[in-house]
């Protein structure tokens, strides 16, 4: 992802790329807010329509079991299907639009997270958690956090690099950490799973 985004958000000089970096961040947070609010609203409607306010008895066990399954997947202990769309902003649009507009589009798509690659299964558990939260404001805030965490490292690399070659090298140097990233996700999911299942059991 970094290899594709950096040329978009990095205008080639330290002054030029601030516009695209800001546009990317604004687009990302906007995309996250829309998805988070919509999903939580759908969750609220579903919970009120089908099982009342029974989050502890229904939502938490489902989410806990899901987190456990994906924790094992992230740890490489079993393989679970990863449904995802691999769509990206089209090359044609990328070529013809100004860098700021392209960076904004990238930001919206990546912040929403639904139409691009899903690198870690934590994302599926996150979407389900946002659904069960059932509060559009909280859902929007949580997904804005996701989008912000997704956009911030790209912005940091772009702003901190004097030229494109340095930015690309910084991006490439991250690749070796991928196995550790999956393990950290597995541990976070395992902790979250136990937390949710214990909460559910102790607050029936």
Partner 1 sequence: MQSVRTTVLPSRLRRILLLAVAGLGGSAVALGTSEGAGGGLTPVAVVLATIAGFSALWSP
Q: Which residues bind partner 1 (CB under 8 A)?
A: 1-2, 55-56, 59-60, 63, 71-72, 75-77, 110, 113, 116-120, 122-123, 125-126, 129-130, 132-133, 138, 142-143, 145-150, 152-154, 174-175, 177-178, 181, 183-200, 202-203
Distance CA 200, CA 104 (A): 40
Query: Of 19 and 145, which CB lies nearer to partner 1 in the complex structure?
Result: 145
Query: Of 76 and 98, which CB lies nearer to partner 1 in the complex structure?
Result: 76
Least distance from partner 1 to the Cβ atom of residue 128, Å? 9
The H helix count followed by the E strand count for the chain is 9, 0
Least distance from partner 1 to the Cβ atom of residue 64, Å? 9
Query: Of 15 and 132, which CB lies nearer to partner 1 in the complex structure?
Result: 132
Asked if residues 23 and 141 have their Cβ atoms less than 8 Å apart, the reply is no
Least distance from partner 1 to the Cβ atom of residue 143, Å? 7
Query: Of 48 and 96, which CB lies nearer to partner 1 in the complex structure?
Result: 48
Query: Of 13 and 177, which CB lies nearer to partner 1 in the complex structure?
Result: 177
Least distance from partner 1 to the Cβ atom of residue 34, Å? 15
Taking alpha carbons only, the member of 107, 143, 135 closest to residue 42 is 135
First to last CA, the chain: 42
Least distance from partner 1 to the Cβ atom of residue 57, Å? 9
Q: What angle do CA 41, 74, 106 make, to 5 degrees?
A: 55
Chain centroid offset of residue 8 CA: 19
Query: Of 15 and 49, which CB lies nearer to partner 1 in the complex structure?
Result: 49
Least distance from partner 1 to the Cβ atom of residue 20, Å? 17
Q: Which residue has tokens 């859902």?
A: 139
Please count the CA atoms within 13 angstroms of the CA of 49 that sit on its side-chain side: 6
Find the farthest-apart pair of alpha carbons in the chain and give their distance in angstroms, rounded: 58
Taking alpha carbons only, the member of 114, 139, 133 closest to residue 60 is 133
């Amino acid at each position: 992802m970094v290899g594709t985004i950096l040329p978009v958000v990095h205008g080639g000089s330290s002054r030029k790329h601030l516009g695209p970096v800001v546009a990317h961040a604004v687009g990302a947070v906007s995309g996250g807010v829309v998805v988070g609010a919509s999903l939580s609203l759908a969750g609220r409607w579903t919970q009120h329509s089908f099982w009342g306010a029974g989050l502890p008895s229904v939502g938490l066990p489902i989410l806990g079991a899901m987190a456990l399954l994906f924790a094992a997947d992230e740890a490489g202990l079993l393989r679970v299907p990863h449904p995802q769309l691999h769509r990206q902003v089209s090359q044609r649009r990328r070529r013809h639009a100004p860098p700021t507009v392209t960076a904004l589009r990238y930001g919206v798509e990546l912040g929403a997270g639904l139409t691009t690659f899903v690198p870690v299964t934590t994302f599926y558990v996150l979407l389900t958690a946002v659904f069960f939260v059932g509060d559009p404001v909280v859902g929007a805030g949580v997904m804005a956090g996701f989008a912000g965490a997704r956009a911030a490292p790209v912005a940091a690399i772009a702003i901190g690099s004097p030229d494109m070659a340095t930015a690309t090298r910084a991006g490439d140097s991250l690749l070796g950490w991928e196995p550790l990233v999956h393990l950290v996700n597995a541990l976070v999911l395992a902790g979250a799973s136990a937390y949710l299942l214990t909460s559910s059991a102790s607050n029936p």
